[in-house]
Amino acid sequence: MELDSALGAPSREESSLSGELSPSALGQAFSKILHSLTRPEARRGNGKDVALKDLGDLIEATECDRLFEGSGARLRGMPETLGQVAKAVEKYAAPRKEEEGGGDGHSEVAEKAAKVGLLFLKLLGKVETAKNSLVGPAWQTGLHHLAGPVYIFAITHSLEQPWTTPRSREVAREVLTLLLQVTECSSVAGFLRGENEDEKGSLSVILGLLKPDLNKESWKNNPAIKHVFSWTLQQVTRPWLSQHLERVLPASLLISDDYQTENKILGVHCLHHIVLNVPAADLLQYNRAQVLYHAVFNHLYTPEHHLIQAVLLCLLDLFPILEKTLHWKGDGARPTTHCDEVLQLILTHMEPEHRLLLRRTYARNLPAFVKRLGILTVRHLKRLERVIIGYLEVYDGPEEEARLKILETLKLLMQHTWPRVSCRLVVLLKALLKLICDVARDPNLTPESVKSALLQEATDCLILLDHCSQGRVKVMVELGKFERKEFKSSSLQDGHTKMEEAPTHLNSFLKKEELTFHRKRKWELDSYPIMLWWSPLTGETGRLGQCGADACFFTINRTYLRHHMTKAFLFYGKQGFRLSPFVCCGLTPTLSYSLPLKSDGGAPLENTLTPLISFAFALWKAGAFSRYKKETSLAGRGGF
């Protein structure tokens, strides 16, 4: 055995080992063990296992004063030798490259880690004893060289990973606890940054140990390195992280710029932590913020919901830094920002997306973008409208996360862009009412709490929509009560539409033979005067309204503008309903009929629609309306 040859026969007696070894022999013994642990040819054999056992025996048998105190050149280099031995032992227990190790390889790594953990516990115990007995900086020098490798070992095997077992994780956590106790640190963060302002901490040493394994060629040789780096980075916050920015930013970019989704997510988390804990001035220096933005933005093209979630959160925190230098002078249009660019890409992906997890991820982050842009969201209003309507129509599972977030987005959108909402009243109202009907008809798929949340959010959206449209929502809802008869459209010979009744009878018309309907029996528009709603409030293409024995055909279809049976136009205003002829050349050139509103601002439709129909029918029968003249200027205005 090599150690026996170095120490001589008395080395087998642990009680006399420390007394018989000279300082030079002790240093030579550690050097031989270090050589056995680092030479490549011992990889396939059991030479490293033997060297590890000899190292444990040597540490246990040597007094702490022989390890950390003495005089002469050799003893001044003893702490450094111990650090190199600890580094070699940590490498011995590290997991191998992914393609080299399988299930058996992982179990072998866990066994090695348990042995190495017990050895580090012995070594840290010697440091604790030396700290309590020695006077001077000798033990502190030794601890400075030991702390880095011991910390890397503890983090590598304390996290739940494929190469760890409950036993190896328990030993590694004991090592980490004892390390914090020896260094007199209350937490890992204090160990890394320093407990006091005058202490430097161990982060620089640890990053120096990780650097050789965190380059483009070697960072995948040890699958634990990326996790140790990421976990360590997360423990250091502002203001301590900024002084290490040049060392942590390249490694984070390297991990994120990988083809594996797992590594992309890990790298984005590291970059996000840097964005949150490094001052904006440092990130803007040397254009680092732009580098971060482009590195993260490219991940939006990868359709993985975990990655998209991490990227969007990182970008939302990066936007204030990127836009810090943008100042609008007010003499022109505001320039588009990075937030505009990201939102445009998100909406492009959201429209055709059919995977529920991605839909939920996009919808979850959409309200934050609307808050960020504020009134500038009008730049994306058309596409946002399509996305909102499309997502409200699709059931999203029992939790309904996507639809709840879309309703929240709609509320924010109406609050920030209310001047542009009234022109989208009909579309948004239909979508909200359809959602309410779908939720109300859902028998048992959705929990009652989720239903209540959906209905509450939809109600809030309706209230906001009513305010944005100056009360028109109430009018349209009331008018919809009269649109309960369904008709099917077919084509007339003159190019206009004619209506078919749904499979029910209109009982109120059974008194007149010409108004009696049978299943699928068509009626001719030439039999009834046409009243054209010029303001398309009802959304109904055509229906018959009657009062007593009289009936008129009401529609919003402006193709009836020049139909010979079109007799009047209906408008809605704040003062009530107005019935006004188009252009008359008969007995009365202009006729109007106004009705008052209720005290609360709503129109008394149930009381006013009947006299309107009777009034219009009476005028038609009396010949008050004659054939209107062609007025191109009036028809071209699109409204009155």
> Tell me: the pLDDT tens digits for 216-262?
888 988 899 999 999 999 999 999 999 999 999 999 999 999 999 99
Residue 403 CA to residue 401 CA, distance in Å, equals 6
At residue 181, the pLDDT reads: 92
Task: Collect all residues with Cβ–Cβ distance below 8 Å to 40 and sequence separation of at least 6.
Answer: none
Kindly report, residue by residue over 562-580, the tens digit of the pLDDT: 788 887 777 655 444 433 3
At residue 536, the pLDDT reads: 63
Kindly report, residue by residue over 91-128, the tens digit of the pLDDT: 988 898 764 444 556 788 899 999 999 999 988 888 88
Helix (H) or strand (E) holding 4: helix 2-7
Please report, for residues 286, 300, 576, the alpha-carbon distance to residue 321 in angstroms, rounded to integers and kept in the order given: 14, 20, 53
Residue 547 CA to residue 261 CA, distance in Å, equals 69
In the structure, what pLDDT confidence band is assigned to residue 435 with cuts at 50, 70 and 90? very high
Highest mean pLDDT among 315-329, 474-488, 550-564: 315-329
Backbone angles phi, psi at 186, to 5 degrees: -85, -20
Q: Between 43 and 349, whose confidence is greater?
A: 349
Burial class (CB in 10 A: 0-12, 13-18, 19+), 441: exposed
**Tokens at residue 403, please?**
């639809």
**Tokens at residue 31, please?**
């050097």
Cross-strand pairs, 531: 554, 568
In the structure, what pLDDT confidence band is assigned to residue 521 with cuts at 50, 70 and 90? very low
**Tokens at residue 423, please?**
């022109």
In the structure, what pLDDT confidence band is assigned to residue 167 with cuts at 50, 70 and 90? very high
What is the 3 state secondary structure string of 597-627? Answer: CCCCCCCCHHHHHHHHHHHHHHHHHHCCCCC
In the structure, what pLDDT confidence band is assigned to residue 549 with cuts at 50, 70 and 90? low
**Residue 305 · residue 360 · CB < 8 Å:** yes
**Residue 417 · residue 381 · CB < 8 Å:** yes
Report how far Cα 539 is from the mean position of its chain's Cα atoms: 37
Highest mean pLDDT among 1-10, 45-54, 251-260: 251-260
Q: What is the mean pLDDT of the chain?
A: 76
- Is 634 a residue whose pLDDT tops 70? no
Taking alpha carbons only, the member of 248, 365, 386 closest to residue 300 is: 365
Q: Which of 206-210, 374-378, 554-558 has the lowest mean pLDDT?
A: 554-558
What is the 3 state secondary structure string of 212-228? Answer: HHCCCCCCCCCCCHHHH
**Tokens at residue 517, please?**
């309907």
**Looking at residues 276-304, what average pLDDT do you find?**
95
- Is 388 a residue whose pLDDT tops 60? yes
Q: Between 470 and 170, whose confidence is greater?
A: 170
Task: Output helix, strand, coil percentages for the chain, rounded to the nearest 5.
Answer: 65, 5, 30
Report how far Cα 278 is from the mean position of its chain's Cα atoms: 22
Domain boundaries, the chain: 24-35+46-95+107-184, 352-487, 530-570
**Tokens at residue 179, please?**
């390390």
In the structure, what pLDDT confidence band is assigned to residue 211 with cuts at 50, 70 and 90? very high
Helix spans in 94-217 (H): 103-133, 138-158, 166-182, 188-193, 203-210
Greatest C-alpha distance within the chain? 135
**Tokens at residue 78, please?**
């003893």
